[in-house]
A and B are shown apart, each in its own frame.
Chain A
Amino acid sequence: MLHKRWPLLFVILGLVFFVYWLKQKEQKISEKHFITKPYDQPQLQTQSYARYALNSKPQKQKTIPLNIKNIQLMTQTLKSAALQPSLQVTLEQLQKLRLQPNLYQDSNPETGTLSVVRTEKPFPGTRYFHAQYFSSEKQKPFLQHMSFEIPPNKDSLRVAAQAIKDTFGSLPQAHTQTANMIAWTWKGKYTVWALKLDKDSLVSDAFNAYTAQDEGTVRIAIELEAHNHVHHE
């Protein structure tokens, strides 16, 4: 009888190995976040990063290639978020992209709750995703600002503008167009813009971390029209 059960043993062994392989694979995925970049022995150099990051001389900047496909995908995320301004949907979408969204909330009895969504991991080719939703007990969360950034590159602003045009379709003429910024009104209540960040903007930023090498980074954003562009004409 035993010889008749050999196939069965193979099947069982196969199953065991298959399950083991699945578990290993799952574990690898879950541990992926903790994979670190190789770091050799402690180096002796001490001057690679300036202590005062933005007041230091920018080092020779190496051009970072633009990932146009991903820039367009993230721009599409901005549009989707504006069309369906739901905090939960945004979180779910970011989760699907495996960006590990973090939700930060700050409430006060006067002006309600400010929910800021940022991601633990950036989408390749972009970074510093940032979204702001306001809400109160009487008011559902609404999107006030959502943005991400693309690398400094001589083509960054042009690529950003093209991504916005491609994604948002028939936009009216840009209400702001300078060497560093382009902005459109969308659906009458949003403004969509791309802005090249200069040193002042980097220093002023209250959320992100920059060094002098980041000058020229372009931020792509959609915002609830808070002020109105006629001021800048």
Chain B
Amino acid sequence: MKVFNIKLWIILFPLLLATNSAVALDSYIYFGNAFQKNLSCQRLAVQFSPYFILNADLSNTNNYLRRGSFVDFKKDKIIRSWNLVTESKLSVAITDNFLDTAEKWKIKVLSTQIDIPEVSLINKTLETQKTADGRFTVHRCCSGNSCEILPVYKVLDGQKQIAEISFHPKKSNFLKSYSLAKGTTNNIQSLVEPRMMVPPATPAHATLLIPDSVSVAPAAVGDEGSEQSTTSQIAQNIVCTRSDPLRIYDDSMQTVIYNIQRFQAIRIFQTWDGDREERQSGRTTYIKVLAHNARGQEFVGWAAATYIKRPEDCPAFGLVGSPSGETLIEGSTIVVDNTTGNFRFPTEQKPSSDYTHGAGGRYFGASRSGRKHAACDLLRPNGEKVFAVSGGTVLQRYRFYEGTDAIEVKHDSGHVMRYGEVSTRTVGHSGNGARVVKGQHIGYISNLAMLHFEMYSGSGTGPLTVRGRDEYSRRSDLIDPTNFLKQWEDLTF
């Protein structure tokens, strides 16, 4: 038979392989849980390049995907997780409006995945109330002046589960973290008001942002030590355990040198030979890590690789998110600030050189090659402290210039300040979004021996550096900080 001719097979075989490859490329996307399968994006495009990019315009849809949500790409048998890269295109499901102190707080629902008018939560405020065991449970839904009992629940695989949002105020007065806990289906009937119940015929009905994999025992939050932090540490991996701290072992793998709390930032060592430092103990892979405690002490040892993830890959962390203005930077000190007014000078002592005018080009507007200087340089010795000029919130911090960092703070006055050319190791284990107060130690003068201080009115948005925009190459709301600094200098020294 001609069909069994070996020459024919020689021709057919590569074709078959090619066909097989084509099938492999016909990949598909699936989402992490039952609700997300019902997503209806207005536009959804997947580019099958070596690097998978999901472009999804979710505007005007009732999805709860947000930054930190993850999407699984399944190609052949390899599943890869990647966070959604375009945050601006995603609807943020919930914002944390801590209107009150730790005693009482509210959250506002901006969107839900599926909005059913009868039980819609959109634009409603959930109010919390302290429970006997010290946790706070969302159980009231307020619209206008009236509040009604409403449980927060989700449906998973056809079963409704109570979701309890709770947090533990710990020893401090500041909100540290909150987490989710699943209730049992048996409790639902008694907790749900009949008119709020989903009709049986209604398909999966999601309400709040509850990633599927979250399963935290309520007690765990309260059990955690005081060193836990809710970091939103950029570009660092975090401990992503279910509830327990992660043990860091010494070289012997017999001694625990540090218990690092859930969600704390942790750094992974890389080797020079193209890998990370790993070792196997039993079935567990351990990697070499560096962790800090709240006092900034360093611990180097070995931790189970499974529990170290990017924040985006840790669904539970997405619920904690950035500290929203109530968390002080950890390991930081606040100087006893007897100065009057809402501001102080950002350095320990007066600058050693004139920053208002004159030689050296330290002043705002000084000539630079092709542009003008956008800051005042406050010269001080390497290692001296840099302070927040006023209360505010850390926006971002990043590598800035020749081995130094910058830290951006949105102050309560509305101004945005960039504290440039500093070392931010003080905030090295705390996150953006952290709250600072006037006089708080936020960094050190670096080896460039100055604080490069930029000031913005806060009326603009977007990155502070805008190359080529004008002679300063800065955002349009850049202002001259000279007179402000002079005033604060007089107040402080």
Bound pair (A, B):
yes
Binding site for B on A (CB under 8 A): 5, 7-8, 11, 15, 30, 34, 36-39, 42-55, 64, 88, 91-92, 95-96, 101-114, 116, 118, 120-128, 130, 132, 134-139, 142, 144-145, 147, 151, 176, 181, 183, 185, 188-189, 191, 193, 195, 197, 200-201, 203-211, 219, 221, 223-224, 226-228, 230-232
Q: Which residues of A contact B465 (CB under 8 A)?
A: 134, 144, 224, 226
Contacts of A137 in B (CB 8 A): 88, 462
Selected contact of B251 from candidates A36, A49, A104, A232, CB within 8 Å: A49
B73 to chain A, nearest CB (A): 13
Q: Is B397 an interface residue (CB 8 A)?
A: yes
* Least CB separation from B361: chain A residue: A230
Name A151's contact: one of B272, B382, B399, B446 (CB within 8 Å).
B272
Contact of A231 among B250, B280, B450, B466 (CB under 8 A): B450
B94 CB, min distance to chain A CBs, angstroms: 16
Q: How far is the CA of A69 from the CA of B257 in the complex (A)?
A: 39
**Taking chain A's interface residues, is the majority helix, strand, or loop, or is none over half, making it mixed?**
mixed
B interface residues with partner A (beta carbon < 8 Å) = 4, 6, 9, 13, 49-51, 53, 67, 78, 82-83, 85, 87-88, 232, 234-236, 250-255, 257-258, 267-281, 285, 288-290, 297-301, 310-312, 361-362, 368-371, 373, 375, 377, 382-383, 395-403, 405-406, 408, 410, 416, 420-421, 423-425, 427-428, 432-433, 444, 446-448, 450, 452, 458, 461-467
Contacts A39-B280, A122-B270 given; does A110 touch B458 at CB 8 Å: yes
Asked if B4 contacts A15 (CB within 8 A), the reply is no
B113: shortest Cβ distance to chain A, in Å? Answer: 21
Taking CB as reference atom, which chain A residue is nearest B424?
A206
Least Cβ–Cβ distance between A122 and chain B, in angstroms: 4
Q: Does A116 contact B270, Cβ atoms closer than 8 Å?
A: no
Inter-chain contact B87/A105, CB cutoff 8 Å = yes
Contact between A206 and B425, CB atoms less than 8 A apart: yes
Interface pair A203/B425, CB less than 8 Å apart: yes
Minimum C-beta distance from B24 to chain A (A): 10
Pair B13/A223 contact, Cβ less than 8 Å: no
Determine the distance from Cα of A122 to Cα of B270 in the docked complex, in whole angstroms.
7
- Complex Cα distance, B464 from A51, in Å, reads 39
Q: For the complex, what is the distance from the CA of A120 to the CA of B369, rounded to whole Å?
A: 38
- Not counting A139-B463, A142-B463, a sample of 11 additional A-B residue pairs whose C-beta atoms are within 8 angstroms of each other reads A37-B277, A95-B51, A108-B433, A111-B462, A116-B398, A124-B274, A134-B465, A136-B462, A181-B402, A185-B369, A193-B403
Q: Please, how many angstroms separate the alpha-carbon atoms of A147 and B371 in the complex?
A: 25
Closest Cβ of chain A: how far from B174's Cβ, in Å? Answer: 20
A103 / chain B contacts, CB cutoff of 8 Å? 82-83, 85
Determine whether the beta carbon of B235 is less than 8 Å from that of A116: yes
Give the residue name and chain of the B residue nearest to A120 (CB). Answer: B276
Contacts of B253 in A (CB 8 A): 42-43
Assuming the contacts A108-B396, A208-B267, A226-B420, asked whether A95 and B50 have C-beta atoms less than 8 A apart, the reply is yes
In Å, the complex CA distance between A56 and B87 comes to 42
A and B contact pairs by CB, cutoff 8 A, 21 listed: A34-B285, A37-B279, A42-B281, A51-B257, A103-B82, A108-B395, A110-B395, A111-B395, A112-B461, A122-B270, A132-B399, A136-B462, A188-B370, A195-B403, A201-B403, A207-B399, A227-B421, A228-B373, A231-B361, A231-B448, A231-B450
Contacts of A176 in B (CB 8 A): 402
What residues on A are CB-neighbors of B9 within 8 Å?
11, 15
Closest to B269 in A: A209
Contact: A55 with B234, CB < 8 Å? no
Contacts of A118 in B (CB 8 A): 235
